Amino acid sequence: MKVGIALVTLGGPRNLEEVTLFLKKLTGIELPDKIISAIKEKYKLIGGFSPLPEITEKQAHALEKLLTSDYKCLPAFRYCNPSIDEIITYFVEKGFEKIIFLLLSPYFTSVTTGNYINFIEKFIKENNIQTPYTFIHSWYRNKAFIDCWTNKIKKEVKNWNSFFIYSAHSIPERLSNEPYKAQILECCSLVSTNLNLKNWTLGWQSIPSNRRESWITPEVEQIMEEVKAKGYNSIVQIPIGFTADHIETLYDIDIIHANYAKNLGLSYHRITSLNDDPDFIKSLFYIIMERMGKWHD
């Protein structure tokens, strides 16, 4: 049985020339030149592109190597190429008998995970696609995934007397009752329990400066100030909300947060992102195998 696996995520511009089109697809509007220029400046500071598309391609390739020849694993991006609809069309035209949509955010919120699901279901319905399919999301409690973060932190932390700040992308306060917030907090608790961490908290990041409504707080910067006031002199930040590097890790964390900590006189260290870490790829493999075991003919 031929099974197609689509690794579904946001995508990103592969060069500065793609930034404008990416932002238009992401926001659904033409942004003012001033805003586009400001965002391009951020991309310049992280190398002039988003590494997310290439990382997802590496994840797909590494995952496919763990699977049997019945499986084909491909990246599927919401706002760049190859697009989700292109990948669905490919699997259908090539005669795949089942399609798995593995959503690369482990947590569920309507503005990301829900957006992907709605887009996919609409495309499948409009094109009368009969191929059976399933979604894998909210997999944050998977033991291999929790162990992956646990082992990564163990390997990379040098000072266990630091204060640990888990961080994730904030969402509007009106969405705070969706699973996202509680799922991330539970994930942090599971990892911290494995590590026997007591000195930790969850902070929120990447809140838009032009927001017109309240977003979930406290922000990472606020927590840093509180940690400093408590007498800590060292911080470890864990990007628990992300499974790959992109502008929210390479700019918002590595530049903004790192400099904020430095200006407070705090020693700062960031745990690296999962990206194509072999342990992370194995966790995705176990997640897929678990779903296949439950997905009967």
In contact, 243 and 280? CB cutoff 8 Å? yes
Give yes or no: residues 263 and 290 share one domain: no
- Judged on CB neighbours under 10 Å (0-12, 13-18, 19+), 162 is buried
Neighbouring C-alpha atoms within 13 Å toward the C-beta of 66 = 19
271-294: per-residue pLDDT in tens? Answer: 999 999 999 999 999 999 998 887
Give yes or no: residues 28 and 96 share one domain: yes
Give yes or no: residues 135 and 147 share one domain: no
Give yes or no: residues 7 and 136 share one domain: yes
pLDDT of residue 78: 97
Give residue for tokens 């779903």: 291
CATH of the domain at 204: 3.40.50.1400
Give yes or no: residues 133 and 152 share one domain: no
Give yes or no: residues 153 and 260 share one domain: yes
Name the strand (E) or helix (H) holding 103: strand 98-103
Going 271 to 282 to 85 to 116, the CA torsion angle's sign is negative
Question: CA gyration radius for the chain?
Answer: 20
Give yes or no: residues 122 and 198 share one domain: no
- Helix (H/G/I), strand (E/B), else coil: 226: helix
Give yes or no: residues 174 and 123 share one domain: no
Number of domains in the chain: 2
Give yes or no: residues 193 and 287 share one domain: no
60-119: per-residue pLDDT in tens? Answer: 999 999 999 999 999 999 999 999 999 999 999 999 999 999 999 999 999 999 999 999
Going 206 to 243 to 22 to 125, the CA torsion angle's sign is negative
Give yes or no: residues 38 and 61 share one domain: yes
The tens-digit pLDDT sequence of the chain (297 residues) is 899 999 999 999 999 999 999 999 999 999 999 999 999 999 999 999 999 999 999 999 999 999 999 999 999 999 999 999 999 999 999 999 999 999 999 999 999 999 999 999 999 999 999 999 999 999 999 999 999 999 999 999 999 999 999 999 999 999 999 999 999 999 999 999 999 999 999 999 999 988 889 999 999 999 999 999 999 999 999 999 999 999 999 999 999 999 999 999 999 999 999 999 999 999 999 999 998 887 654
pTM: 0.96
Residue 199: give the domain boundaries: 143-270
Give yes or no: residues 266 and 150 share one domain: yes
Give yes or no: residues 206 and 287 share one domain: no
